[in-house]
Structure 1
Amino acid sequence: MRAPRYRFALIVTLFVVELLLLAAAYQVLTDFECRATGAEGACRFLRSMVARGLSVFAALALLAWAWPKVAAAFLDRAADHPGAGRWRAVHLGGVAILFLPLALAPGGDLVAVFWPALALWTGGGLLAALGGVLWLAPPGAWRLWFDHGVATPLLVLGVTLLVPDIAETVLPLWDWQVVTDVTFAAVHAVLRLAGPAVQADAAAHVIGIDPFFVHIARQCSGIEGVALMAAFVGLYGVLFRADLRMGRYIAVVLPVGLLLSWMLNVVRIAALVVIGARVSPQIAVNGFHSYAGWMFFTALALALLVGVQAVPWLHRRAPRAEGPRMAQDVVAAQILPFVVFMVVLVVANALFPHPDLGYPLVVLALALAVAAFLPVWRGMDWRPGGLALAAGAAVGLGWALTSGPGGAGGPLAEGLAALPAWALAGWIAARVLGTVVLVPLVEEMFFRGYLLARLDFGGRGGAIVSIAVTSLLFGALHGRWLAGALAGLVFALLALHRGRVTDAVAAHVLANLIVALAALATGDWTRI
């Protein structure tokens, strides 16, 4: 087993080095701001790929740790890989293409060549990813993970890919002045160890060593580390749930992890100031500030989980359950299509001037995700009650009548107006299919099929809490949060009325159909 493990570790190490070299090259050797490119979303998405890649590598390590027998079989199969050389060439060719924009940029000015560079990054990234995956192991070896249980690997990868977006999404909730104040004070205390030259303005939250100063804003208080730590602690809990004393684990490990993450962030900011003042401001801002945090937070999360594994008090002796196959796994059917939905929305947001212009891509991904669970859908009772249909009609009419004018003149309307007739027809067909059929199924299975039951801790109070939380989360997912929350409340009550989530799906379908008909009647497709 030593040789297969050595080969695998060597290749993964190479991948990590490649990520770090790409990060260093584009953050240190070039000078550009995403806001100046005309495609800020795509630019920021590409810049986040280093953090996403590091998170995925850590997640794969966690999955192998949880399933050692599958990992051993995978390594054995990967070692016997006659096509490895061909895929290695594809991977290295893709990496070379990723570096090509550096040669095109005059004086490191990537803004001037951003669109050709974007094409090279996209093509090179796809080649590097595909070649890397198939260089590591042939398709048959990768299938071993999904034979063991499809839901868990996809959930693990989906969550880790979304960690940067999770951090960005919850940033407004992190705007606590006390956290910023405490972080500033802690950084000041650490920097005083570097000497008496530290200068600080507590009122403005500016601190540094001449000539390098930083402003500790709310996003500097460690939200990235908190999001990453929470994600990995949660994934560990899912993977090892049969072995853990879950009450102790949640009560102890999560608070400890978040505290350690905050402390590491304090050290990171202090190191940033020292590097900026005494080594290089460019390295501090473009390299250390952007990527070192993600590396350190990932390493800290894995180290914490290694410690958890070594503490008997947190564990109980119980066999670990094997994951069911995907097509018959109801929980996977409730969760994974929604994860796919969120991931593809992030990609569409990065690649299109308005994310809804990429709706055909979203529909394609959702259709594939839904089709994977056809046995689950066939086993459900799809005969809606009269109450479900009446409630769905009321929600749809209420939404259509209170929505007001659409986004006429906005990016979506302008993008649709620029499409040729055939493309617009295809977009409308995809929009109606997704809005009326796929999205109601995916959203209801997650919010009312999965979350509603999981958040109910029993009794009337548990029911109220689960209904309120799922309705508010559902509202937050939609642009009109109050109307969305009220719709979510109706769908939750319908799901509980007869104990059938399919009633909520039927009501959601009818509501969205009415909204789509209103958009058709007005000719304003920005309303759905």
Structure 2
Amino acid sequence: MTLVSVPSSPNPARRLIRLCALFCLELLLLAAAYQFFVVIECHLTDVNGACRFLRSLVARALVVFAVGGLLLWAMPMLRHAVLRAAGQRAGALWPGVHAVGLVLLVLPLAMAPGGNLGAVFDVAIWFLGAGAILAGVGGVMWVAPAAGWRDIALAGRGIAPGALILAALLPDIADLALPLWNLDGMSAVTFAAVRLFLEMFATDILIDAPARIIGFPAFSVHIAPQCSGVEGVALVTAFTLIYALIFRESLRLSRLFLVVLPAAVLLSLLFNVVRVGTLILIGRYISPDLAVNGFHSYAGWVFFTLLAFGIVWGVQVTPWLHRTNRLGEPDMPLRDDPVAAFVIPFVAFMVASLITHAFFAHPEIGYPLRVVAMAAALWPFRRYYLRLAWRFDPVAWTLGALVGLGWLLFDQGDPEAGMAMAVAIGALPKVYILFWVIVRLIGTVAFVPFVEELFFRGYLLTRFTDRGAAGAWVALALSTLCFAALHGRWISAGVAGLLFALIAWRRGGVTSAIQAHVAANLVVAVWAYAVSDFSKI
């Protein structure tokens, strides 16, 4: 028997990186060409399903690349198998097949009369389909021969093929969330958040709240239910499930789904607000065509990819999400973990706030739900909180009271919003109104200061303390800006957040900041109760 050796690459890692960069560039150029040079409305063709599938290939490729990168990072055996396979050259045939596929993918651009690809799509689809198959197969075999791919599939106990298939199906999973787009409350939340985002950059904002139109006289958009971010929620949930499948033996799955998943959903909704707001700014200051045809189509997938990698990084650097810490020792109980104690109540508070905005006629009607969520999240950590350095701080109480007075003096509240809230609450049964007032006061004075200070000053402010003076200033700016963004009052809330941070630094702990925040909210709550205007709190 004569053995024929397979030519190998002297540097498989460098070769693999070059090929991946080439494929990403090709995807980018094809996406741009079909976005800007031709027009295609899939629902106007006779092959709507096939058309939508072809248009989704770019998004599918992005997600597959993201999950593939995650697998290579997380599974050393798979990474070694890929490098071994990439070191085996598959011959000159496959680059040619890949090139022929690219030519077929480009040909329909020249076939479209006046750029209207829909007019000839029944013919163009054959070129696009064949081109996608040839370019895909040629690219895969260009990376490694068939034997190499077999070894890759077997590496890591066969997890990689299933994870990549799920990644390729994520756009279809997102389509399953289409019925949820009819939740009108979600688009209302997005509309209000986009308004706050735009107010950071301009004042001449065009707002039509009943029609949900927002933007500027030269460029505006309609915040439809499809813009609510539910698609992103579906994608993030599916990605988290894939991640849990890959790391199911090392992760504490209950913590992953109870803590990481809600936080990822909130970030997904935040990214959606940034995406819509940035689209409007691009449409006004740069190009409406770029905003609609370019950024609008692919920014969501780019943000999703960034969030996916952020989820992975966050989980990997958080010991209490793993069965053992980095030293191989048993992980501490969740109830004793300081990161969990500082972060989980805030996540619960934000999730409950989102629910009240989406499912109640007026979000403040559901305020008791937020209090219940905070109480439930705080209770498991009660012994940890009791071990904090609690002592009365008269300076903190004094400064906190001054913050409360300043909040009232420089009130920037919307009178119409306050009136809408009063009307909504006034329409409720009298018994519920009394219950609501009591819970509102308790939540404002006790729960909200505790939960917010644990997160903003207990977690964010100390996140970079081990990185010297520069890290401390970054932490101060980050905690202050995030606190101001949450409250939508950049000056008043920014000053308050800065003072609370300085108070926390003064005593070297979060308890003094909690006392100052309680004092501030107590002043505002007493005033709100005296004048029967609970929109102040």
1:132–1:143: structure 2 CA closer, same or farther, 3 Å change rule? same
Aligned-residue identity in percent = 49
Partners of 1:32 and 1:239 in 2: how far apart?
A: 38
Distance apart, 1:218 and its partner CA: 1.3
**Structure 2: gaps (5+ residues):** 1-8, 327-537
1:199 equivalent in structure 2 = 206
Would you say 1:109 and 2:111 are equivalent positions?
Answer: no
Q: Distance in 2 between matches of 1:2 and 1:170?
A: 47
Q: Which amino acid aligns with 2:148?
A: A
Indicate whether 1:287 and 2:291 are aligned: no
Name the CA shift for 1:177/1:112 in 2 (closer, same or farther; >3 Å): closer
**Deviations 1:251-289, CA, capped at 9 Å, x for gaps:** 111011111111011000001111122222222112111
User: CA separation in 1, counterparts of 2:39 and 2:145?
Assistant: 39
**Structure 1: gaps of 5 or more residues:** 320-528
Task: Give the match for residue 136 of structure 1.
Answer: 143
Does the alignment pair 1:238 with 2:279? no
Render the CA deviation track for 1:211-239: whole Å, top value 9, x for unaligned: 21111111111123212211221111111
What SS does the corresponding residue of 1:121 show, helix, strand or coil?
helix
For 1:34 and 1:245, locate their aligned partners in 2 and report how far apart those are by CA, in whole Å: 43
Partner of 1:167: 174
* Alpha-carbon shift at residue 70 of structure 1 (Å): 2.2
Counterparts of 1:73-152 in structure 2, within 5 Å, are 73-83=81-91, 85-148=92-155, 152=159
* Residue aligned with 2:11, SS: helix
Distance 1:92 1:283, change over 3 A: same
Could you say what the CA RMSD is over the residues aligned between the two structures, in angstroms? 2.0
What is residue 20 of structure 1 aligned with on the other side?
28
Letter in 1 for 2:306: A
Which of 31, 43, 46 aligns to 2:54? It is 46
1:268 maps onto 2:275 in alignment: yes
**Number of the residue aligned with 1:438:** none
Determine the structure 1 residue equivalent to 2:162.
Answer: 155
Pair 1:188–1:29, CA change in 2 (3 A): same
Question: Higher relative contact order at CA 8 Å, sep ≥6: structure 1 or structure 2?
Answer: 1
Q: Please, which of 203, 219, 224 is the counterpart of residue 217 of structure 1?
A: 224
Gap change, CA 1:129 and 1:82, over 3 Å in 2: closer
Kept in 1: contact 2:90–2:143 (CA 8 A): no
- For 2:145, give the aligned amino acid: P
Answer yes or no: is the 8 Å Cα contact 2:90–2:142 preserved in 1.
Answer: no
Q: 1:215 to 1:246 in 2, by over 3 A?
A: same
Tell me what 2:305 maps to.
298
CA drift at 1:48 = 0.9
| Equivalent pair of 2:19/2:143 in contact (CA under 8 Å) | yes
Kindly indicate whether residue 76 of structure 2 is the aligned counterpart of residue 68 of structure 1. Answer: yes
SS at match of 2:177: helix
Q: Secondary structure at the match of 1:242?
A: coil
Kindly tell me: are residues 241 and 277 of structure 1, through their superposed partners in 2, closer, same or farther at Cα, counting changes over 3 Å? same
Question: Once the 2 structures are TM-superposed, how far is the Cα of residue 26 of structure 1 from its aligned partner?
Answer: 0.7
How many Å apart are 1:135 and its aligned residue? 0.7
**Contact 1:228/1:298 (8 A) holds in 2:** no
Q: What are the equivalent positions in structure 2 for 1:175-186 lying under 5 Å apart? A: 175-186=182-193
Indicate the structure (1 or 2) with the bigger Cα radius of gyration: 2
Which of 225, 241, 254 is the matching residue for 1:247?
Answer: 254
- Does the CA-based 8 Å contact 1:91-1:129 persist in structure 2? yes
Instruction: Name which of structure 1's ranges 120-129 and 303-312 shifts more when overlaid on structure 2.
Output: 303-312
Mapped to 2, the partners of 1:300 and 1:92 lie a distance apart of 33
Deviation at 1:153, TM superposition (A): 2.5
- Report the AA paired with residue 47 of structure 2: A
- The amino acid across from 2:108 in the alignment is P
Aligned with residue 314 of structure 2, among 289, 302, 307: 307
Offset of 1:4 from its aligned partner?
1.8
Whether the 8 Å contact between 2:174 and 2:234 is mirrored in structure 1 is yes
Conserved? CA contact 2:95–2:139, under 8 Å: yes
TM-score (norm 2): 0.57
Cα distance between partner residues in 2 of 1:57 and 1:2? 24
* Counterpart contact for 2:186–2:228, Cα < 8 Å: yes
1-side partners of 2:219 and 2:46: how far apart? Answer: 30
Shift of 1:209: 1.5
Q: CA deviation at 1:151?
A: 5.2
1:35 to 1:143, Cα distance in 2 relative to 1, 3 A: same
Question: Which amino acid in 2 is paired with 1:176?
Answer: L
The DSSP-based 3-state class of the residue aligned with 1:193 is coil
SS in structure 1 opposite 2:310? helix
Q: How far, CA to CA, are the matches of 1:277 and 1:203 in structure 2? A: 22
Per-residue deviation, 1:204: 1.1
Q: Normalising by the residue count of structure 1, what TM-score does the alignment of the two structures yield?
A: 0.58
Residue type of the alignment partner of 2:213: V
> Are 1:233 and 1:305, in contact at CA under 8 Å, matched by a contact in 2?
no
Task: Please give the per-residue CA displacement for 1:468-525, whole angstroms capped at 9, x wherever unaligned.
Answer: xxxxxxxxxxxxxxxxxxxxxxxxxxxxxxxxxxxxxxxxxxxxxxxxxxxxxxxxxx
Partner of 2:5: none
Give the counterpart letter for 1:62 in structure 2.
Answer: L
